Amino acid sequence: MTSLGLQAILFDMDGVLYNAEEPIAGAAEALRWVGAQGIPHLFVTNTSSRGRAVLVDKLRRFGIPAGEDLILNPGVTTAAWLRSQPPGTVALFVRPAARADFAGLSLLPDDAESGAAYVVVGDLGEAWDYRTLNRAFRLLIHNPEARLIALGMTRFWHTPEGLALDVAPFIVALEHATGRKALVLGKPAAAFFRAAAERLGLPPAAVMMVGDDIQTDIAGAQAAGMKAALVKTGKFRPSDLNGGVKPDWLLESVAQLPRCWSA
């Protein structure tokens, strides 16, 4: 336990532990230190383009041991939420690799333009086009009671080709067109961070978040009552420090975490 009473750590993945297919220097060593210290931790990601098994394999390739039980993503939290709601047909806007998280739910055919009680939108990447976005719009318009569910509200992410749009811009477009607010079941929603703390069996005040997104990771975690460390890797830009969100720690990379934790 640190002098601030911190007992556990949440790690964002893309931009903190790796950039696309490139590991970040020192990340594996930092996670080995976390393990050696016996610090409880989870990997929390807004990635909705891949299932947890794929993410586990990726972490292991980079020398970071993990199991699916250590990864919390919006697909898992959304599927659990849907199972707790009144039964209804779900329209999924996620990539095939992420559909496993929604196994057992009543799913609408991918070409249907009506009949959805829940419209779940994740990161489709280059699969987004006018027809796809308009189909999501029609599903919502045809049922005024249909819920729009966002698998996080990440604005953009770092790819090998440069920065690319993530799910948030498409959610905002649907909100504007329908006049309906999305239910966010990923970062930066406070409920997502609190769910992570509950999984660790700790109050949010005992948890540190490590992320590269000033809004999604840092502001979201702080709003949930956590402390947050911003790393200067991934999507970090110096201009991030000019706004109203102030991280509790600013690290060159996750490699500095052991020194930060011990300070």
Residue 98's identity, in one-letter code, is A
pLDDT confidence band for 3 (50 / 70 / 90): low
Place of tokens 């209804």: 88
Pick the closest to residue 19 from 256, 213, 233, 166 (CA basis). 233
The DSSP code for 193 is H
pLDDT confidence band for 41 (50 / 70 / 90): very high
Pull the structure tokens for residue 95: 């990539």
Least confident of 2-6, 25-29, 135-139: 2-6
pLDDT confidence band for 100 (50 / 70 / 90): confident
pLDDT confidence band for 4 (50 / 70 / 90): confident
pLDDT at 1 exceeding the cut of 60: no
pLDDT at 79 exceeding the cut of 80: yes
Chain centroid to CA 196: 11
pLDDT confidence band for 97 (50 / 70 / 90): confident
Place of tokens 């308009």: 134
- Alpha-carbon span 47 to 69, nearest angstrom: 16
Please answer whether residues 199 and 72 qualify as being in contact, where contact means their C-beta atoms are separated by less than 8 angstroms.
yes
pTM: 0.85
* Mean pLDDT value across the chain: 93
Give the length of the chain: 263
pLDDT confidence band for 262 (50 / 70 / 90): confident
Q: Domains in the chain, please, with CATH? A: 74-184 (3.40.50.1000), 204-263 (3.40.50.1000)
**Pairing relationship of beta strands 18-19 and 22-23 according to DSSP bridges:** antiparallel
Pull the structure tokens for residue 21: 């297919």
pLDDT tens-place string over residues 42-55: 999 988 877 788 89
Position 121 scores a pLDDT of 97
